[in-house]
Amino acid sequence: MANAPEVFATTPADVNAVIEHGAAKHIEPELFGFAPYQIVALAMLVLIVIMIWKKVPGMIVGGLDSKIAAIRTQLDEAKQLRAEAEALRNEYAAKIAGAQKDAEAMIAGARTEADAILVKAEDDSRLMVARRQQMAEDKIAAAEREAIEDVRNRAASAATSAARGLIAEKHDAAADSLLADQMIANI
């Protein structure tokens, strides 16, 4: 084995002969005299040249640039939408605060109005009670006056009847002439 000649087998018989002599050597495939790594390198070189010739890097960069521009546009839109949303939120927060202030003002106004209505109702009831009391007192006074007038009228009527009766009984023609003379003398 050590002194066996190095032989490259190209046919199956040569392979068998090499195996019998014990000197097995690995045979590398070749294409047009190039080793496999050289063929791969050449294929990669051709592929890179074709990609450069067809402007693939420019297309990739252009595609990436367009994606970047689209993403920037979306980010700008998102920022704008966020700003609008914050403005709306602030607007509605202000409206809520204003509505709360309005509600508090309405409640305070309603309380004030209710207090004023209560005071007015108390004043009106006091005035109505005083007015009714005055009316009752006026009616009582009128009834008293009527009763006194009626008593006077009855007393005068009774006195007149009694005087007529007394005069008719005690007064005669001589008393009339004496009375007439006294009256004339007084004048």
DSSP states of 15-57: HHHHHHHT--------BTTB-HHHHHHHHHHHHHHHHHHTTHH
Q: Measured between alpha carbons, how far is 153 from 113 in angstroms, rounded to an integer?
A: 58
pLDDT in tens, 114-158: 999 999 999 999 999 999 999 999 999 989 999 999 898 888 888
DSSP 5: P
| Helix, strand, or coil (residue 31) | strand
Q: Can you give the pLDDT at residue 7?
A: 47
Decide which of 102 and 179 is more confident.
102
| Helix, strand, or coil (residue 165) | helix
**Where are the domains positioned within the chain?**
1-50, 55-186
Annotate 66-126 with three-state secondary structure.
HHHHHHHHHHHHHHHHHHHHHHHHHHHHHHHHHHHHHHHHHHHHHHHHHHHHHHHHHHHHH
Give the mean model confidence (pLDDT) for residues 59-81. 92
CA neighbours within 13 Å on the CB side: how many for 18?
16
Q: Locate tokens 């050289």: which residue?
A: 38
pTM for this model (two decimals):
0.36
Q: Can you give the pLDDT at residue 2?
A: 46
Per-residue pLDDT band at 1 (split at 50, 70, 90): very low
Backbone angles phi, psi at 34, to 5 degrees: -105, 145
pLDDT in tens, 2-51: 444 454 545 666 656 555 655 556 677 788 888 888 889 999 999 998 88
Per-residue pLDDT band at 166 (split at 50, 70, 90): confident
Is residue 49 within 8 Å of 57, Cβ to Cβ?
A: no
Give the mean model confidence (pLDDT) for residues 75-95. 94
Measure Cα distances from 168 to 60, 136, 162, 176 in Å. 155, 47, 10, 11
Q: Can you give the pLDDT at residue 44?
A: 94
Q: Can you give the pLDDT at residue 74?
A: 95
Give per-residue burial for 157-176: e unless 16+ CB within 10 Å, then b.
eeeeeeeeeeeeeeeeeeee
